[in-house]
């Protein structure tokens, strides 16, 4: 499958659901695994790894790109893939700024947003294909 090309609609299978479940788990680990005591905020590996100067934000972007790759494999529409890529780019660029970028990285949670976008697009596609 070529990147950023809308895939033909394939029937939804248990493998698709398992992939989506895995992506939900990964986004939680990356963005919201642990709560910050005394606040309502949560932090994940992406926010913690982002604290490492130089390589932290690149590693976080690489992990986030995996979610984008899986969205392509699941046949997400082009506009959803582009929006997901924009979320990753914004988090990576702003996240590279010292201190402010780390706070933004914890608050923005691009992976959670991207999995929600993917899930909404796939649900819309599934319900549209079920209607007569």
CA 96 centroid distance within chain: 18
User: For residue 7, is it within any domain?
Assistant: no
User: For residue 44, is it within any domain?
Assistant: yes
Domains contained in the chain, number: 1
User: For residue 86, is it within any domain?
Assistant: yes
Domain limits at 114? Answer: 14-130
User: For residue 41, is it within any domain?
Assistant: yes
User: For residue 91, is it within any domain?
Assistant: yes
Q: Alpha-carbon distance 73 to 1, whole Å?
A: 8
User: For residue 54, is it within any domain?
Assistant: yes
Q: Is-contact 1 72, C-beta < 8 A?
A: yes
User: For residue 88, is it within any domain?
Assistant: yes
Token pair, residue 97, equals 């700024």
Tens digit of pLDDT at every position of the chain (132 positions): 555 544 445 567 788 899 999 999 999 999 999 998 998 889 999 989 988 887 888 999 999 999 999 999 999 999 999 999 999 999 999 988 888 998 998 899 999 999 999 999 998 887 776 655
Alpha helices in 32-99 (DSSP H): 45-49, 56-73, 78-95
User: For residue 4, is it within any domain?
Assistant: no
Q: Is-contact 27 115, C-beta < 8 A?
A: yes
Q: Is-contact 122 80, C-beta < 8 A?
A: no
């Amino acid at each position: 499958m070529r990147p950023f090309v809308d895939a033909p609609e394939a029937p939804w299978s248990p493998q698709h659901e398992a992939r989506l479940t895995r992506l939900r788990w990964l986004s939680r680990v990356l963005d919201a695994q642990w709560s910050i005591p005394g606040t309502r905020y949560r932090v994940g590996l992406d926010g913690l790894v982002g604290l490492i100067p130089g390589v932290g934000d690149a590693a976080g972007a690489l992990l986030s790109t995996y979610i984008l790759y899986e969205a392509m494999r699941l046949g997400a529409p082009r506009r959803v893939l582009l929006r997901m890529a924009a979320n990753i780019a914004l988090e990576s660029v702003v996240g590279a700024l010292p201190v402010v970028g780390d706070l933004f990285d914890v608050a923005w949670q691009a992976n959670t947003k991207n999995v929600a976008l993917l899930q909404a697009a796939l649900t819309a596609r599934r319900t549209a294909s079920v209607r007569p």
